[in-house]
Chain A
Amino acid sequence: MIRMLIPLLVFVGLIGLLLISLPTAEQRRQVASPLIGREVPNFTLPSLHEPEVSYSTADLRGQPFILNVWGSWCFSCRVEHPYITRLGEEAGIPLVGFNWRDERDDALTWLSRFGDAWTFHMVDEEGRAAIDLGVYGAPETFLIDHRGVIRHKHIGPVDETSFADLMRRIEEMRQEAGA
């Protein structure tokens, strides 16, 4: 009798697995970054506003900061723009723009049209630094602590919920930096 029930039991397990996996299908589409908990890769990139000036991630060591990947070609970046602006105003730590695979003119026009709450922007035209950072789409938002460790990565546009979550994590990082 038990032996004849085996197929049914296997099947119940299968249905269970599928049932559990169905609501998490969207999450699985986001690839978790292996860089979280590791030091932010070091790269030096030119500034968007002043091409002759360049910034490097090493310069930012010692204080927590936000790194926001965006491009003027990216529709979702426009969607999250109000929240990014609020981050710039409320977070109290530098908000670094990472302008990815963009044309300088387009990027500047985009900023003047929608507003520029970022502390400054780095330009990654060729996308090499983005690969080191494990970027696979825009927008993405990284939180990096005062020791230079990537603490969190938000994939996709920031909304009300993720904004609150980001603010909470930023507060944590600020306290650590202060202590």
Chain B
Amino acid sequence: MIKHAVVSLSAALTLVVTLAAGTLSSPAQAQADERASHPATEEQRQARPVQQGQMGGMITPIEPLPFRNSLEERRFRALVNELRCTVCQNESLAESTAPLARDLRMEVFALLQDDRSDMEIRQFMVDRYGDFVLYRPPLAGHTLLLWFGPILLLLGSLIGAFIVVHKRRQALK
């Protein structure tokens, strides 16, 4: 019966893959495709940051930026997603439409153009706005409990569970 399951599932998965592979190409390829044929990626046509009105509501900041390559673009996304916007409720720079968040995104972009490392860019923000801007808190004395607490709790619980099972084994005999 298990064989039956294996066969049917394998068949199903093969079908999935065949279908999916037909409709999806790798991102590396995707990047290349777009670079080659899309007129809008010409770097001269890039927009300068748009001044926001003083409006509320939820909108997404969408800015086409002239990245030099896809690695830089990925680094940019990773950075703005890990940096917290200081004026907003609880949003990353990537998510926020606040004018300051826009300035800071542009600053991150400029620093990337300046060939600064991710670490330097994060430090740049911390120097100006403090640890508050890091969504990934730095490992330091005051965050030891945060980073190691769950692991200690897990180890403690596992030891506790071990003791429990050890005791309960006696009841078997």
Partner of A73, one of B54, B100, B127, B132: B54
B51, B103, B128 — which one has the most chain A CB atoms within 10 A of its CB? B128
Q: In the complex, what's the smallest C-beta–C-beta distance from B107 to chain A, in angstroms?
A: 6
Query: For the complex, would chain A's binding face be called helix, strand, loop or mixed by DSSP majority?
Result: loop
**How many B residues are at the interface, by size bracket?**
10 to 19
Q: In the complex, what's the smallest C-beta–C-beta distance from A35 to chain B, in angstroms?
A: 7
Assuming the A-B contacts A127-B100, A137-B87, are A132 and B130 also in contact, with contact meaning beta carbons closer than 8 angstroms in the complex? no
A134 contacts the other chain (Cβ, under 8 Å)? yes
B129 contacts the other chain (Cβ, under 8 Å)? yes
A137 to B101, CA, bound (A): 11
Interface residues of A in 113-133 (CB under 8 A from B): 126-128, 130-133
How many CB-defined contacts (below 8 Å) exist between A and B?
42
A101 contacts the other chain (Cβ, under 8 Å)? yes
Q: Is the CB of A101 within 8 A of B128?
A: no
Q: Is the CB of B103 within 8 A of A31?
A: no
Assuming the A-B contacts A101-B99, A137-B87, are A31 and B128 also in contact, with contact meaning beta carbons closer than 8 angstroms in the complex? no
A35 to B99, CA, bound (A): 22
Q: Is the CB of A31 within 8 A of B130?
A: yes
Binary per-residue interface labels of chain A (124-152) against chain B in the complex, 1 for a CB within 8 Å, 0 otherwise: 00111011111111000000000000000
B145 contacts the other chain (Cβ, under 8 Å)? no
Binary per-residue interface labels of chain A (11-38) against chain B in the complex, 1 for a CB within 8 Å, 0 otherwise: 0000000000000000000011111000
B126 contacts the other chain (Cβ, under 8 Å)? yes
Q: In the complex, what's the smallest C-beta–C-beta distance from A81 to chain B, in angstroms?
A: 18
Interface residues of chain A, those whose CB is within 8 Å of chain B, are 31-35, 73, 101, 126-128, 130-137
15 A-B residue pairs with Cβ-Cβ distance under 8 Å, sorted by A, are A32-B132, A34-B127, A34-B130, A35-B128, A101-B51, A126-B103, A128-B103, A131-B107, A131-B128, A132-B128, A134-B130, A135-B100, A136-B87, A136-B129, A137-B87
